[in-house]
A and B are shown apart, each in its own frame.
Chain A
Amino acid sequence: MTKNSSQPIVSRREWLKAGSCGLGSLMVSGFFPNRSDAGLLAPKQPHFTPKAKRVIFLFINGGPSQFESFDYKPDLAARSGKKGIGKGKLLGPLWKFAQHGESGMWVSEAFPHLAKQTDRLCMLNAMQTTSRAHPIAIPMLHTGEFQFVRPSFGSWVLYGLGTENQDLPGFFTVKPTRTFGGPANYGSAFLPSTFQATRLGWDGQAVKSASIRNLTPNHGLTPDTARGTLDLAQTMNQRLLGQTEDVRGVIDSLELSERMQQAVPNVLDLGRETKETLDMYGVDAGATDDFGRQCLLARRLVESGVRFVEVSNSGWDHHSGLDKFKTKAETIDKPIAALLTDLARRGLLEDTLVLWTGEFGRTPDTQVLDGKETIGRDHNAEGYTAWLAGGGVHASLTHGTTDELGYKAVEGTVHLHDLHATMLHLLGLDHTRLVYRYGGRDFRLTNIQGNVIHDIIA
């Protein structure tokens, strides 16, 4: 595989340079020491030396089954068909498991591509979250809270670290769900709106047709005259500089909008990738096309200096139809494996933290729906599987176990709050110090919970 398999969008050095003479020069402290929003997004020093600089969050929406993917349960297989806790019967894993990589990590045959990536994964088999209901668990996963609207994970990270490429927004969410919190899952709540995500498409829409609003002019002017109006406006803005530093913010944002009109279409243009890369992600190859594009976009965005990217894949709520699990898995398996490979070969994986998780997992027993037993499993918040890769995590590690049947985490439990705390830690942020005062209280992503799990850090 060649290192320069695609055209770099903007090399890191280039935009750093652009940063120093573009943004930097604009940030020469003005007469009024007021807040400028370019400053809000400028890269910030974390609390301590970070191992990860950016995050790719693969949200597997619906509660993917750990029993068909990453949590090997021989006892469950042995007792398949026996009575479970609920009305249904215990259901043995529907796909065979085998051990892979240096550590002999278990992966089911539904994920043949990811099985080859186990030396990069830190498998968390004893995850727990607060609720087994989608409407609670999804906002929990995204904001650490469900009763109230709180800033999303990505907003906190952006608030804590700023962003590296001032030509692009620092936080993207690709095809988020409209339901179960909807925009609140990527919103900034009481944090300044600067920290909210820029959304690309919606769940259910082909990512091919997704775009950022207002990037294309509607005024019918030639680029030259459009630039002319901007220059005129900027000249007028200059006159007001003595009055308020906010004018600096206006000038900066206008300039950035001009740069974004160029940079965003470029970064979103997968046509700049080689055929080899496109094939690796499964772009234009049927079932893998959409998520392949999302994963490739994620790589292009973080490579361009975006701090936090979330991509989503829905349809994992297997109350029934679990016999088609592998077909579903095929839509993401190859793209995710490609993402890890691609990040690694570009030297990005070491400081990019990749999270794969649903809002919860599933039960070892089947469900009885409308009096009929289905080939499916109910929600389970007491024990499920998520994994991390890159960004300073202990690779090739399987951490935590559930009981022999997989109902509940029994050892090495990682609560969702702990996961948030640990990910912030890897990013150089102390989750107890990353606070924002609102309505008379210091708020944080982990509320009053969360412990950093040092065992999963390299």
Chain B
Amino acid sequence: MGRSLFALVALFAISLSTPFTLGEEPQADTPDAKGITLFDTQIKPVLVKHCYECHSKDSEEIGGGLELDSSAGMRRGGDSGSILVSHEVESSPLIRMLRHEEDASAMPPEHKLGDEVISAFEEWIRLGAPDSREETGPTAKDQRVEEGKRHWSFQQPQPFESPTVQQADWPRGVIDNLVLARMEAKGLKPVADANRRTLVRRVYFDLIGLPPSPQQVEQFVADESSEALANLIDPLLDAPRFGERWGRHWLDVVRYAESSGMEFNFTYPHAWPYRNYVIDALNQDKPYDVFLREQIAGDLMPVGKDETPQAIEARRIAPSMLAFGPKRHNSSGTEFQMDIVDDQINTIFRATLAMTVACARCHDHKFDPIPTKDYYALAGIFLSTEPLYGTIKQKYSNTPTDLLSIGPNAAAMHATAEDHEKKIQEADKQLAAKREELNKATEAEKLATAKKTEAEKIVQAKTAAVEEGATVDPAAQQTLDQAVASLQAAANQVVALKSDAASLDANVAELKKNRPPRPQYAMTVRDRAKPVDTKVAVRGNFRDLGEVAPRGFLSAVHVANPPKIDASGSGRLELAEWITSPDNPLTARVMVNRIWHHLFGRGLVASVDNFGMIGKQPTHPQLLDTLALQFIQEGWSVKRMIREIMLSRAYQLGSESDANNIEIDPDNRLFWRATPRRLEAETIRDAILAVSGQLDLERPVGSTVTPLGDQLVRGIPTEKIQPPSNHRSVYLPVVRDYVPELFDLFDFPSPSLVSGQRSVTNVPSQALYLRNSTFVAEQTKHAAKRLLASKEVTDDAGRADLAVRWSLARGITEAERAGALQLVQQIQQTKTEGSDRNIDAWAAWFHTLFTTAEFRYLVDVL
């Protein structure tokens, strides 16, 4: 039924042309009075008898979202829009439904009502469709919205008194107090603290995504001060490696990629500056609210007095986030725009507020209090924004845009380069014209040659005819002379033109050779010249427009003194301010929850990207609120929040199990131990490179996608999409559908989807990769050479141990040493030509270590 209703409404542009006049007392004999009588006697009984079953508050499921048991519900209509246009019978979808017209949703579905009943409805609409029913409270839909607004995540975070706990000597601070209180309430006990070696490895991977060196491990183990952990954490927070690690978390959330994805996958050669922006922002500890404002509306933010050009430029790169989303470049027009807008809304709201606003594109949100109108209020903001994603016009790519030029002298360099391109075009044009001229002249020369030949023949013929001694026919001779002269002229012309063309040709070649250097480019957005409000697209169909939705924010989220959208702008800056207002109940909670998720493997709200009605409830609502308030108070500092959480005792627990706890809380939802976590694809790769000594910590220039230019990815050989690299994984190109093999295998999230949480799989293709791939084989060889060159160890037992220290941040066990030495000796003793068995032997030991669960999991170091 819902589907056919859609079909019907798609035919109509619906609007209530006359406002209903409820509340006014109807006069006798007025159309209203007549209409009311008609309603009471003939319309209402039919509604009750034939419609209420599916279309009232009491219905099991309200059909098509249409409620007919109240005047408010009738006026509002269903998911497909209004059903009544008062006074206009033929424009009222209701009538078409009752008539069982083609393409309309036949109502009632089983049988058509009698003609006289339908006539009564027509008359009633003609009279303005007045309704006598008393409003009996909100409609089911309004009720749902009201209930929705009471959902926990829409309420302001509240400060809490720190609870008292029985095990009073356990907590080190407020976090621990709150965590322990929840445990005690459930009869759980925290397990023992993690040992030092476990902790140092956990901290290194969590903060910088790299394993600690044996020296770094020993240094921490030996530090007996009470500040030992802070001494470990602080330098790591300050290391450039920190931004590379935590920046990647954010890149997951904003579905960062360097190609358009979808069916025609075009490269985005200029997405990478955003990647660097994110890494730098994390390293600078840019306040999170500023970080968000820049990404939503950095181009619109006023320039501060003392700001460096770099800071201003960074802010303009930041909104790339709105430009590199997946796009169907073969699409065009409104459809293309609306799909981009949908992706922008989806990304921003899931990233910042963990709200699935995009669900409201086609109908009011099924679960959350987000009406379709809110969606289109936001859509207006983004329709008034032009995404600058670049691309060039080519087959399957219809709508190229400008880009932002960046770097020193960018604007001037860009202008010079563009001028130069114009010169080339102009010179090309001149050359083409000259060549055309030359063609014509060549033709003329041919013609003149033919004429001359003809004239010669005539002269010869005439001469032959009058026989010997005769004089040449003067007329014929004259024609010949003229022909000779013409040919000469034509030939001269050709020679001249050839020389001209050659010099023009040289000119073009010269120009092309001397193209001035271009600046670097980045993606961004800018406001369109004329910002507009848009209309609700009924059922998401942009060809079927409903009421105007003035640009605005989410109606269910209360923010005191919300910014007013300036009619002359898109409203993006105001949206950014609204999202980052300290009053917004979601923004800080969502981010501290993301941080918690990365440090514990599970968020306080497990559904990190969904804080809506069907997201998960917070396991520790008080803790979440406390952290959120603290986050705001301390200036939205991500580094401080990470530090705070890491210094808690809760973070420092071991992973050992406990039979009693397992019984009560098998999923460790209350954090009574540290859940062992699988390292991400990037971390696995970086760790392998770190152990092999091949890791290049320099930031590469740009991206390897940039020199590929604008083209379809499918035409590019894999080795050019993913050339060999020893840089950190965050710098490897992220081409949609063509991510590096290791990423693909180890659950790198689809860069087309917002992913605050990665899945963890254990599949045989991972095992095959670690055991058999060229990359791992090469790195084990490098690691073996590095080991053999090490001066720290002198014998095989020492080497076996050092390999374990590099790979697993711990010393070797007796059993492992025996196994390793046996393996190594076995290989050393097999003599094979052409390879160094010693290297092979140690490579095999690294192979063993790289394949272990311990290498790719954060577990207790036993």
A interface residues, Cβ below 8 angstroms from B = 31-34, 36-38, 40, 134-136, 138-139, 146-149, 169, 178-184, 187, 189-190, 192-194, 198, 212-222, 225-226, 228-230, 232-233, 235-237, 239-240, 242-244, 246-247, 249-254, 256-257, 260-261, 439-441, 448-449
Check A246 against B764 for contact (C-beta < 8 Å): no
Contacts of A36 in B (CB 8 A): 762
Check B859 against A226 for contact (C-beta < 8 Å): no
Check B750 against A189 for contact (C-beta < 8 Å): yes
Check B853 against A440 for contact (C-beta < 8 Å): no
User: When A246-B857, A253-B767 are in contact, do A229 and B657 touch as well, CB less than 8 Å?
Assistant: no
- 15 A-B pairs with CB atoms under 8 Å apart are A134-B263, A147-B339, A149-B326, A169-B764, A179-B714, A181-B263, A214-B769, A218-B776, A240-B853, A244-B859, A246-B676, A246-B760, A246-B857, A247-B853, A254-B851
User: When A36-B762, A253-B766 are in contact, do A179 and B263 touch as well, CB less than 8 Å?
Assistant: yes
Check A244 against B615 for contact (C-beta < 8 Å): no
Contact among A181, A190, A215, A237 with B853 in the assembled complex (CB-CB below 8 Å): A237
Of residues 740 through 755 on chain B, the ones whose CB sits less than 8 Å from some CB of chain A are 741, 744-745, 747, 750, 752-754
Closest Cβ of chain B to A348, distance in Å, is 25
Contact among A33, A192, A252 with B759 in the assembled complex (CB-CB below 8 Å): A192
Check A253 against B750 for contact (C-beta < 8 Å): no
Tell me which of B330, B359, B750, B764 has the highest count of chain A C-beta atoms within 10 A of its own C-beta. Answer: B764
User: When A149-B750, A253-B766 are in contact, do A440 and B857 touch as well, CB less than 8 Å?
Assistant: no
Instruction: Give Cα A230–Cα B843 distance, bound, in whole angstroms.
Output: 13
Contact among A169, A221, A239, A251 with B844 in the assembled complex (CB-CB below 8 Å): A221
Check A229 against B662 for contact (C-beta < 8 Å): no
Check A220 against B823 for contact (C-beta < 8 Å): no
Q: Mark B238-268, 1 if CB is under 8 A from A, else 0.
A: 0000000000000000000000011111000
Check B767 against A256 for contact (C-beta < 8 Å): yes
Interface membership of B666, Cβ < 8 A: yes
Contact among B339, B614, B666, B780 with A219 in the assembled complex (CB-CB below 8 Å): B780
Check A229 against B848 for contact (C-beta < 8 Å): yes
Check A440 against B769 for contact (C-beta < 8 Å): no
Tell me which of B263, B614, B745, B759 has the highest count of chain A C-beta atoms within 10 A of its own C-beta. Answer: B263
B interface residues, Cβ below 8 angstroms from A = 2-3, 261-265, 326, 328, 330, 339, 350, 356, 359, 366-368, 607, 609-610, 612, 614-615, 655-657, 662, 666-667, 675-676, 678, 714, 737-738, 741, 744-745, 747, 750, 752-754, 759-769, 771-774, 776-777, 780, 815-816, 819-820, 823, 826-827, 830, 835, 840, 843-845, 847-849, 851-854, 856-857, 859-860, 862
Contact among A146, A214, A218, A237 with B852 in the assembled complex (CB-CB below 8 Å): A237
Contacts of B845 in A (CB 8 A): 229
Tell me which of B767, B820, B845 has the highest count of chain A C-beta atoms within 10 A of its own C-beta. Answer: B767
- Nearest B residue (CB) for A189: B750
Contacts of A240 in B (CB 8 A): 676, 853-854, 857, 859, 862
Apart from A189-B753, A214-B768, A250-B767, list 17 A-B contacts with CB within 8 A: A32-B666, A37-B761, A148-B752, A149-B326, A149-B750, A193-B759, A194-B761, A213-B773, A214-B773, A218-B774, A229-B771, A229-B823, A246-B853, A247-B857, A247-B859, A439-B350, A441-B356
Closest Cβ of chain B to A132, distance in Å, is 14
Check B857 against A256 for contact (C-beta < 8 Å): no
Closest Cβ of chain A to B89, distance in Å, is 32
Instruction: Give Cα A240–Cα B759 distance, bound, in whole angstroms.
Output: 21
Check B741 against A135 for contact (C-beta < 8 Å): no
Check A218 against B819 for contact (C-beta < 8 Å): no
User: When A192-B759, A242-B657, A246-B853 are in contact, do A180 and B772 touch as well, CB less than 8 Å?
Assistant: no
Contacts of B261 in A (CB 8 A): 149
Contacts of A32 in B (CB 8 A): 657, 662, 666
Check B853 against A222 for contact (C-beta < 8 Å): no
Check A214 against B765 for contact (C-beta < 8 Å): yes
Check A182 against B678 for contact (C-beta < 8 Å): no
Contacts of B675 in A (CB 8 A): 244
User: When A36-B762, A135-B264, A244-B859 are in contact, do A213 and B851 touch as well, CB less than 8 Å?
Assistant: no
User: When A214-B772, A439-B609, A439-B754 are in contact, do A31 and B657 touch as well, CB less than 8 Å?
Assistant: yes
Instruction: Give Cα A219–Cα B774 distance, bound, in whole angstroms.
Output: 8
User: When A182-B265, A193-B747, A246-B676 are in contact, do A228 and B823 touch as well, CB less than 8 Å?
Assistant: yes
Contacts of B768 in A (CB 8 A): 212-215, 257, 260-261
User: When A217-B772, A229-B847, A244-B859 are in contact, do A184 and B765 touch as well, CB less than 8 Å?
Assistant: no
Instruction: Give Cα A214–Cα B765 distance, bound, in whole angstroms.
Output: 8
Check A190 against B657 for contact (C-beta < 8 Å): no
Contacts of B656 in A (CB 8 A): 242-243
Instruction: Give Cα A304–Cα B547 distance, bound, in whole angstroms.
Output: 58
Contacts of B820 in A (CB 8 A): 232
Contacts of A250 in B (CB 8 A): 762, 767, 852-853, 856-857
Check A440 against B615 for contact (C-beta < 8 Å): yes
Contact among A235, A252, A439 with B610 in the assembled complex (CB-CB below 8 Å): A439
Tell me which of B747, B776, B819 has the highest count of chain A C-beta atoms within 10 A of its own C-beta. Answer: B819
- Nearest B residue (CB) for A228: B823
Instruction: Give Cα A183–Cα B761 distance, bound, in whole angstroms.
Output: 19
Closest Cβ of chain A to B540, distance in Å, is 10
- Nearest A residue (CB) for B771: A257
Check A236 against B852 for contact (C-beta < 8 Å): yes
Check B851 against A31 for contact (C-beta < 8 Å): no
User: When A32-B662, A218-B772, A254-B767 are in contact, do A235 and B819 touch as well, CB less than 8 Å?
Assistant: yes
Check A225 against B827 for contact (C-beta < 8 Å): yes
Check A232 against B759 for contact (C-beta < 8 Å): no
Instruction: Give Cα A326–Cα B847 distance, bound, in whole angstroms.
Output: 54
- Nearest A residue (CB) for B778: A218
Check A221 against B840 for contact (C-beta < 8 Å): yes
Check A256 against B764 for contact (C-beta < 8 Å): yes
Check A243 against B657 for contact (C-beta < 8 Å): yes
Instruction: Give Cα A229–Cα B750 distance, bound, in whole angstroms.
Output: 33
Closest Cβ of chain A to B728, distance in Å, is 23
Closest Cβ of chain A to B521, distance in Å, is 26
Contacts of A229 in B (CB 8 A): 771, 823, 844-845, 847-848, 851
Instruction: Give Cα A192–Cα B777 distance, bound, in whole angstroms.
Output: 27
Instruction: Give Cα A313–Cα B265 distance, bound, in whole angstroms.
Output: 22
Closest Cβ of chain B to A215, distance in Å, is 6
Contacts of A439 in B (CB 8 A): 350, 356, 609-610, 753-754
User: When A218-B773, A246-B676 are in contact, do A193 and B852 touch as well, CB less than 8 Å?
Assistant: no
Check A219 against B777 for contact (C-beta < 8 Å): yes
Contacts of A226 in B (CB 8 A): 771
